[in-house]
Structure 1
Amino acid sequence: MRLFGTGNSTDAMRRSSRQSAGSTVTWRPLWRHTRRCRQRSTRVSLVSALKPRRSSSDAPRHTRPQPSSPPAIPARIIRDAGRSPTHRPTAHCSTTRLTMRTLSLALTVSAAALWAPFDSQLAAQQRPLSFMDVQELKRAGSWTPSPDGAWMLYTVTTPDWEKAESQTDIHLVSLSEGVASDRRLTYTEDHDETSPAWAPDGSFFVFSSNRDGNDSQLYMMRHDGGEARKITDADEGVSGFDFSPDGRWLVYRSGEGGREQLYRLPADGLVGAAAEVITHGDAGVEQWDFTADGARIYFARPDSFDEDEVKRVEKGFTVDVRNAVTPLSSLWSVKVATAEERRETDDPAYSINSFTLSDDGRWIGITGGSPKRYERNITAQRLYADLYLMEIATGEIERLTNNYEVGEGGLSFSPDGRWIAFSAPDNMERYTMTDNRVYIREVADRGGAFRKLGTDFDQSSSVGFWSDDSGTIYFNAGVTVTTQLHALDVATGAVRQLTEERAALSVSRDDDTGTILIGYSDPMTPPTVFAVASVDDVPNRSAWTQLVDVNPHVRDIALGQEVEINWRSSDGRTVGGVLVYPVGYEEGTRYPLIVAIHGGPASADILRFNGGYSAQVYAGAGYAVLKPNYRGSRNYGNAHRTDIVGDYFTMGYEDIITGVDHLIDEGIVDGDRMGALGWSAGGHWSNWILTQTDRFKAISSGAGTMNWISMYAQSDVQRNRQFYVGDGFLYEDFDTYFDQSPLKYIKNAKTPTMIHVVEGDPRVPSPQSVELHMALKKLGVPTELFMYPGRSHGIPDPRNRLVKAVSEMAWMDYYVRGMGEKFEWRQVLETLEAGEGPAVVSEEGGR
């Protein structure tokens, strides 16, 4: 094994730029909002400005590099009008233009990346992206087209990170007129209005709100104006609702946790009507869905309810029993009009996890979980399951798959009821993390074999949505650093790529109205949504109508240019990823580098807005950011994805290091000023880098493993560890697992390392981080461990996400660039000061 190696550099790439005069400012840590003003030598901060302080008497044990002369920053970065479809202001300020030399394996960039002529007045208004900007981005969701296809309801969520809360309201937009027609329908300061649903005739809509208390109730409102009217007063609030397809009923779910039942209201007399309960089991209703005619509801319900479990928690016995015994769930149905219930399944061989109904009302597809305690309950995700098919008329059930270890998904019926399809890995005999294929057969062909579709397509295929004639399945799939819409021919199994966007694209079809919606984001465009008349119009950008623009202020923020980059790894294989240039990049200037390593590992970094570890914040602070799609990543073919099997780290590490060397060879990166960071699998690779090289000046490890042996038992999933590490059973092969563990090589560690983890993380448990922290302390390597409260794989509290981001950049600035100070709590506490106006700090630090 090669330690502290440099890897092999390969094909050259160059960047040239013309820097506009008069736009030079000083690099600063961008922990908060900042505004650069050339007319006066001050910085305006929305919370307080941070001025790096350097003192020879306060130098750390490890030598830090001295900062070089600050590079010039243009006041506005590239706005690629040819690639970003969102509305842009007509006036553009200047910047530079990146020109490319065409070479093999050189950077792939948007062809229209031109910068407008320099405008000093507009330039002075620009500022880089800050972590606070990221915290305060609004989110749109709950897309709900009207039955006539003329309108769309949606929600806008505004975060309040100081309270670790958010607030949601409902908006309306015309599908033909787009953003210009947007209208906010609800106005609540401290409450949420969510889950809008149109009445079948489109005359009004119903939504959920907690405006009158802590519990959510249902309200109705006309889309053309008027006050909302309350229609439920459920004691335990409402936890889900829907209109029957025939328009007769509004059905909702309500009740104590674990005991929720279904209630009905007449759709033509909602206000003042008394709700009637239509289900009556001891245990609560889980998933539920109407039949196509609206006469019946199918639902899943546990076979029993444990009264003692409720009582012991109420009495304060809050011990957590791992993988506790829980009842199986069965499928039931109820006539909505008469409340007559009927049990549909009663088989101890499986538990109902989920189900889907065919449009013709003849079939039910069932995902049935293993009845074995330590398979069914080992995670909250119900990973161990098989597929079943029920004929409604006879009640006969056919088992479609018999491999609990293999994960099938996307069970779906074609619109004409002829086909049943699902997605699963290439190998259906055992668990793997290979690319998925679509499996299909005629529904009525009982016992028949499934055909595998898309076998010549070297990416994952899935069941997205069907064409009206049931001859085509549309799905979104990653292609290197983008996601594109594809079409899968049911008859031939051939796959066609339909779009060529340099962006993250997600195309969907509304089941009720057939409306085609396009989710879109590129490096300059926060997530937004477009509508088109038909799926045939998706490849035609001119046919798109933008519906949502909830973060228009981003257009006034300077962003670093993001490009696709390719290089050769040490074994000659081509590897790709995303390079984010620092704001104001100048050819000939070498920049500090952050290597931001994605998780998964079967994930990928793509060209989307601020994707992954707030890369644009680092770009605004003067860093180049490399986001490598190392071996193990998706979007580059099945071989690329599985090259790490049996030797988890070696080739991924080589891919990362050769990518770094490539940027150094091209004169973009200063090899003496580099840091690396990652979360989850990115944390695994950060820990491996720590033990293999001392080339990086700082590392931030987030939720990373140290010891595959202990990790196997501590984590809530084991099958993927076994697949990646060597496919051997841990308890019969300890050596294979330990040979691939960073802990085995920890004595090589020399790089100052910050560690972040959620205390109750079930996926990569915190003892892994504690083990790393202790080892580094004993080895005399500078280290800090930040343990966040919670029981999730990601940091749940937005305030703590800010702490992570701020402390991480402070760590990088301190050790990579030799500037600033290590994290101090005042850097975050000052953002909570109430009642103060923006702090004004001069470039010399006066206040």
Structure 2
Amino acid sequence: MKKLNARDLSNFKLVGGLDVYKKKVVFTVSEINLEKDDYFSKIYLYDGRKVKQFTSGPKDLNPCFSPDGSLIAFTSKRDKENKEAELYIIPTDGGEAKLLTKFKLGIREYEFSPDGKTLAVITPVELERKKKSEDVHILKEIPFWFNGVGWVYGKRNHIYLVNTESGRKRKLTKGTLNIHTLKWSEDGNKIYFVAQEDREKKPMITDLFVIDLKTKRIEKLTDSKWRIGDVIPLEDGTFILRMSTLERGIATNTHIYHFNPETKEITKLTAKLDRSAYNSLNCDVRGPSRDTIVYKEGWIYYIATDGPRANLFRVNLGGEIERVVGGNRSVETFGVGDYIVFNAQDAITPTELYIVKDGKEKRITAFNDWITEYKLSKPEYFKVKVSDGMEIDAWIMKPVEFKEGKKYPAVLEIHGGPKTAYGYSFMHEFHVLSSKGFVVIFSNPRGSDGYGEEFADIREHYGERDYQDLMEVMDEALKRFDFIDEERIGVTGGSYGGFMTNWIVGHTKRFKAAVTQRSISNWTSFFGTTDIGYYFTPDQIGGDPWSNFEGYWEKSPLKYAPNVETPLLIIHSMEDYRCWLPEALQLFIALKYLGKEVQLAVFPGENHDLSRKGKPKHRVKRLELIVGWMERWLKR
């Protein structure tokens, strides 16, 4: 059988976001084209019997049924000369797609009105128009840029109404409200939306608003205390909210709540399950997903990260919770029609489409059956009881051509976040390393999502218990698995995992090679240069650089650069506004100045999502660099 390599990235079919109407399902399938160094996507339709290609592409996404199921709207970029986002509509029975309108700065979200005659579209809008010849950026607010988006100063997300017959559009909202998501009222006379009121002073707060379509009067329904992610209006004037109360800052789990705007009373419906109400598992071959909650027949359906798995749950207004789709896998997105439909993957199976009907599950697609021709290493679970008594989930992947009695080099992988998780989702990177003869070890240390708020809360304690957990996982792996060569162990991770890689090489000499990716090296510069630094750092490290300068420096890996003896490869993207390039440059220059073994690989035109959404050729190059560095230092 074949062994998976970096260039096999082009084989993956990214089965993505879906919508359902009765028995019909529309979804996207994206392809990774190495030759053209680009992504291409088409929309497919499942009619309850078979799957067929529905649009020709090349970049059709985000399909959505009209309320009566007769039409499908979708976004696209079919005009190669025009960079604007295009909004199309097509009859469900087939025919030519009709271009309704275009939006200069993209389409964030859209939804049909109850009568199907109007689409409410959220799109970025410039508050002040710049002269076309003007190339100077005059900044008056923060954040002024955002990862994966670029310059955001002077822009806000607003709502436009688009007629589904004529394509005529009109702007509904204005001002500095920054709108995230919306829902129509049942009678079509109002739109409820979630928005930031002050993204500079209160960047973590979002509120619920309602706008009357006749008067354009906007009313604020919440009191600027919460971080609301999604909303469902109910017939009695109350709401279902997916939100975080921020009691533990960013470490607070997102839950499903019932909210009464008259009494301001909120009820946590998912109180019995201390888990985040979304999918936070890591994956590097994930398709576009629609992160949604659905209300049907008294139940609210939602995805939650439960340890190393993401499952579909439902909860009623009485707080009764049921697991609807379980198993050691990652449910990516879902819909509820005449049956439940969902996309899912696991550690050795890329994403496909499934349905659950009459309690029986059926797989509908086979876009990634090519993977059966490859020999993969299936992660083996082991539990580690660490020194403070907590149990940590961990996994080991043997080399693909594993032989008893032989010693192998190993790589410890560390996830980002820190409030994400590893588990039963597909990681191309892990399979490439195991196919190259490496043992791969990964785990969910303190700070990870899926194990409750207390477990996830490492605020002001970065590099402490989380670091200990990782080292004790490594100790247990060496104790249990005698095929690991303890003299040939490497470590790598990205974002928070990059911070932790930097921290590790400054605090131990046990690793013989390290690759740090999109990392943080200095909390003070991170605070002052990145898109989220000005609120993420005070929340996670405590205070600000003026009130807690010593604390910021104490938790900065750059402080410990003189201790580094591990050969380090730094991988960073030039347009990574989440962890800006200076984080890599400072560490690289410091280590070179100190005479350490270090290299820096800078990827132009890429951002923080290089490993997941970067240009295909760059993604392959990144994997080749990681494998090459580990082979150089662990196999010689």
Count of aligned pairs: 607
- Partners of 1:338 and 1:137 in 2: CA distance: 38
The one-letter code matched in structure 1 to 2:526 is: M
1:560 aligns to what SS in structure 2?
coil
1:607 aligns to what SS in structure 2?
coil
Deviation at 1:555, TM superposition (A): 0.3
> What residue number does 1:751 align with?
566
2:86 aligns to what SS in structure 1?
coil
Deviation at 1:210, TM superposition (A): 6.8
Deviations 1:792-834 (A, max 9, x none): 212222212211111211110111121xxxxxxxxxxxxxxxx
1:475-554 superposed matches below 5 A:
475-491=302-318, 493-506=319-332, 508-509=334-335, 513=337, 515-533=339-357, 537=359, 543-554=360-371
**Cα pair distance change 1:574/1:153, threshold 3 Å:** closer
> What residue number does 1:790 align with?
605
Q: Is the 8 A contact 1:530 1:545 kept in 2?
A: yes
2:499 aligns to what SS in structure 1?
helix
> What residue number does 1:241 align with?
88
2:37 corresponds to 1:164: yes
The one-letter code matched in structure 2 to 1:326 is: G
- Partners of 2:549 and 2:624 in 1: CA distance: 39
2:440 aligns to what SS in structure 1?
strand
Of the candidates 229, 241, 246, which is equivalent to residue 409 of structure 1?
229
2:377 aligns to what SS in structure 1?
coil
- Partners of 2:433 and 2:126 in 1: CA distance: 53
- Partners of 2:157 and 2:368 in 1: CA distance: 43
2:4 corresponds to 1:138: no
The one-letter code matched in structure 2 to 1:450 is: I
2:461 corresponds to 1:647: yes
**Cα pair distance change 1:152/1:342, threshold 3 Å:** closer
Deviations 1:570-627 (A, max 9, x none): 322211133222224445443211101111110000112236xx10111112211111
Deviations 1:401-423 (A, max 9, x none): 3337x422012224x45531212
Deviations 1:774-795 (A, max 9, x none): 1221222211100111252122
- Partners of 2:566 and 2:422 in 1: CA distance: 25
The one-letter code matched in structure 2 to 1:239 is: E
Q: Is the 8 A contact 1:215 1:238 kept in 2?
A: no
2:372 corresponds to 1:569: no
1:628-667 superposed matches below 5 A:
628-642=443-457, 644-666=458-480, 667=482
- Partners of 2:590 and 2:222 in 1: CA distance: 46
> What residue number does 1:12 align with?
none
The one-letter code matched in structure 2 to 1:400 is: L
Q: Is the 8 A contact 1:197 1:242 kept in 2?
A: no
Deviation at 1:160, TM superposition (A): 1.7
The one-letter code matched in structure 2 to 1:136 is: N
**Cα pair distance change 1:524/1:293, threshold 3 Å:** same
2:104 aligns to what SS in structure 1?
coil
1:647-796 superposed matches below 5 A:
647-666=461-480, 667-717=482-532, 718-726=534-542, 728-790=543-605, 792-795=607-610, 796=614
Q: Is the 8 A contact 2:72 2:91 kept in 1?
A: no
> What residue number does 2:115 align with?
293
The one-letter code matched in structure 1 to 2:296 is: D
> What residue number does 2:270 align with?
454
1:19-418 superposed matches below 5 A:
126-143=1-18, 145=20, 149=23, 151-176=24-49, 181-184=50-53, 191-192=58-59, 214=80, 239-242=86-89, 253-255=100-102, 257=104, 289-296=111-118, 298=120, 306-307=128-129, 309-313=130-134, 317=135, 319=137, 321=139, 323=144, 326=154, 350-361=177-188, 363-371=190-198, 374-375=200-201, 384-390=205-211, 397-403=218-224, 406-414=226-234, 416=235, 418=237
Q: Is the 8 A contact 1:531 1:544 kept in 2?
A: yes
1:166 aligns to what SS in structure 2?
strand
Deviation at 1:677, TM superposition (A): 0.5
Q: CA RMSD in A?
A: 3.6
> What residue number does 2:416 align with?
599
- Partners of 1:237 and 1:343 in 2: CA distance: 17
Deviation at 1:173, TM superposition (A): 4.1
Q: Is the 8 A contact 2:232 2:295 kept in 1?
A: no
Deviation at 1:753, TM superposition (A): 0.4
Taking only the aligned residue pairs, the percentage that are identical comes to 23
> What residue number does 2:287 align with?
none
- Partners of 2:390 and 2:216 in 1: CA distance: 54
Deviations 1:40-71 (A, max 9, x none): xxxxxxxxxxxxxxxxxxxxxxxxxxxxxxxx
- Partners of 2:568 and 2:168 in 1: CA distance: 63
The one-letter code matched in structure 2 to 1:681 is: Y
Deviation at 1:546, TM superposition (A): 1.7
- Partners of 2:567 and 2:412 in 1: CA distance: 15
Deviations 1:263-296 (A, max 9, x none): xxxxxxxxxxxxxxxxxxxxxx986544212355
The one-letter code matched in structure 2 to 1:484 is: N
2:418 corresponds to 1:615: no
- Partners of 1:325 and 1:193 in 2: CA distance: 28
- Partners of 1:627 and 1:478 in 2: CA distance: 17
Q: Is the 8 A contact 2:74 2:89 kept in 1?
A: no
The one-letter code matched in structure 1 to 2:535 is: R
> What residue number does 2:288 align with?
none
Deviations 1:232-252 (A, max 9, x none): xxxx9771134799x9xx985
Gaps of 5+ in 1: 1-125, 217-235, 261-284, 377-381, 538-542, 819-847
Q: Which moved more, 1:706-715 or 1:792-801?
A: 792-801
Q: Is the 8 A contact 1:684 1:704 kept in 2?
A: yes
Looking at both structures, which has the greater relative contact order when contacts are Cα pairs under 8 Å and sequence separation is at least 6?
A: 1
Deviation at 1:722, TM superposition (A): 1.4
- Partners of 1:467 and 1:174 in 2: CA distance: 23
2:233 corresponds to 1:419: no
TM-score by length of 2: 0.85
Q: Is the 8 A contact 1:575 1:655 kept in 2?
A: yes
- Partners of 2:485 and 2:224 in 1: CA distance: 51
1:745 aligns to what SS in structure 2?
helix
2:250 aligns to what SS in structure 1?
coil
**Cα pair distance change 1:585/1:419, threshold 3 Å:** farther
- Partners of 1:587 and 1:807 in 2: CA distance: 29
- Partners of 1:204 and 1:301 in 2: CA distance: 22
- Partners of 2:68 and 2:222 in 1: CA distance: 41
Please identify which structure carries the higher strand content.
2
- Partners of 2:245 and 2:627 in 1: CA distance: 41
2:133 aligns to what SS in structure 1?
helix
**Cα pair distance change 1:517/1:368, threshold 3 Å:** same
- Partners of 1:790 and 1:294 in 2: CA distance: 40
TM-score by length of 1: 0.65
Deviations 1:466-518 (A, max 9, x none): 4532x221211122211122222212x243334441211245215xx555212
Which structure: larger Rg? Answer: 1
> What residue number does 2:281 align with?
none
Deviations 1:504-546 (A, max 9, x none): 1245215xx5552121212221111112236xx2xxxxx2222
Deviation at 1:454, TM superposition (A): 1.9
